[in-house]
Amino acid sequence: MGSKNSEGYLRIGEAAERAQLTQRTLRYYEEKGLLPPPTRMEGGFRLYSPEDMERIERAKQLRDLLGFSLADIKEMLDAEIEKEQIRAEWRKDADAEEKAEKIRHAREVTIRQLALLDEKLAKMQDMRGPLAERLARHDELLRGYAEAKSAEASTTAGG
């Protein structure tokens, strides 16, 4: 792998290799807003921070594991950033009302994320139902054929 600069940033080729994606995919994610515009070095080379790499990994997880669309991935990642901002603005010395407002905001963001997951789960359940019913019909048919074969064998043996 190529060299990193002293701040831990990766050039696009190194970032793509580490994330097991193509450079084109990283540029596409940037274009679609899944990644913030990367830092650039002289000559315009893109540099990806450790935070960018975490975001890329999260996007891959949402895409691969949960089958999220790019729009859904962006919504989930933006919500994570929003919650990080709430945490960054948290003040231990704030009064109870300010703290409660921050918690309410974080709660609303989390509710949006859960709603998105629930929507995906409901669609999966809708797809799963007919498949489970079909499997039960196959199993019932197989039991019927096994019983018929057993009855045939005993008739042939006894006849």
Residuewise pLDDT in 10s, the chain (159 residues):
444 444 789 999 999 999 999 999 999 999 999 998 888 888 888 899 999 999 999 999 999 988 899 999 999 999 999 999 999 999 999 999 999 999 999 999 999 999 999 998 998 899 999 999 999 999 999 999 999 988 888 887 765
Full strand arrangement of the beta sheet holding 39-40: 10-11, 46-48, 39-40
User: Any idea where the domains of the chain sit in the sequence?
Assistant: 1-66, 90-152
Give the pTM. 0.69
CATH code of 1-66, in short, is 1.10.1660.10
pLDDT on residue 66 = 82
Which backbone phi and psi does 69 adopt, to 5 degrees? Answer: -75, 165
pLDDT on residue 6 = 43
pLDDT on residue 159 = 58
- DSSP string across 21-77: --HHHHHHHHHTTSSPPPEE-TTS-EEE-HHHHHHHHHHHHHHHTT---HHHHHHHH
